[in-house]
Chain A
């Protein structure tokens, strides 16, 4: 295989990178419709958090400091008494590992920003606003603050909708009746369709699927996520070697 030049894409970013109020505002405004959609997902998370026994304050704290939807839903699904802390933290880490790659993909642009600005912005990175940011930066806008602005929109809608979910969770009898329990699966299916890359994804996805199905039969909790993802990465490493 021909090794990729890691600095290659940087050649497209010769334009000046800015980090200002305009970038924050543009990112925020662009992301509002998407964040509104994600808020439906936040309500579903709040309902699950309520069922797991979390208080409004605890749910708000989690959404405000973690800001990673799928992992938060998995965490509250694993929640029981006593709290399986190690399993939860490990599952959260495994589910969120993809963020490392997303963050790495921003390097061609973020290398022009200070460390403080880069790592502050990355706190607010979620799947949806990462995609919007990549789209904006690829267009050559030079808006270094786009991730921060779009992330702030995600943060506001996510925290508020989580709280609404916990509050409504006491009223809604059965989220399944409104299809709320299906939001995670629906989101992941839609994401899978977007990530599907034809032949190159067949082997790793099959390995992940089979490993996850087998692991789920043997282990409870969400260890199948770690097993499936890990197996796919290892097989891919061997395949490319």
Chain B
């Protein structure tokens, strides 16, 4: 990390400590917008099914969204990592596959990344 980045981090951290209970109006507005669009997604699906006739084709195409979004997030994230991230990813996948326990997979994965980053 460059010294400038470190200084910036430090100043951020200092301001966070100094302004624990500060609510910036711009920040609150963005958070409110995030809350609104998120609630639209949470309530919108049920609302649509209740009020609008959706073609099977559209409905079927929407079924792939959860997996597709997850893959779209993961791809570039893992591509920007290195062997420790890839190997730990394999560990997570194996544990999730074998046990079906997301919590266990998560804990193992975090342990694995710490070890792989130290060893590799």
Contacts and interface: CB of A to CB of B under 8 A. Distances in A.
Interface of A: 1, 3-4, 6, 33-34, 37, 40-41, 50-58, 61-62, 65-68, 70-72, 74-75, 83, 85, 88-89, 92-107, 110-111, 118-119, 122-123, 125, 128, 166, 169-170, 176-180, 182-197, 201, 204-205, 207-209, 211-213, 216, 222, 224-225, 227-229, 231-234, 236-237, 240-241
B43 interface: yes
Given A37-B103, A123-B39, A190-B96, A75 B65 contact: no
Contacts of A184: 73, 77
Contacts of B89: 185-186, 189
Q: Helix, strand, loop or mixed for chain B's interface?
A: helix
B51 to A, nearest CB: 11
11 contacts: A53-B15, A55-B16, A58-B24, A58-B27, A67-B38, A85-B29, A96-B42, A99-B41, A170-B13, A185-B109, A229-B69
B75 A93 contact: no
B3 interface: no
Interface in B33-88: 33-35, 37-50, 56-58, 60-79, 81, 85, 88
Contact of A186 (B9, B33, B64, B110): B110
Contacts of B100: 194
B22 interface: yes
B79 A189 contact: no
B22 A208 contact: no
Interface string B10-40: 0011011101111110111111111101111
A233 B46 contact: no
Contacts of A193: 93, 96-97, 105
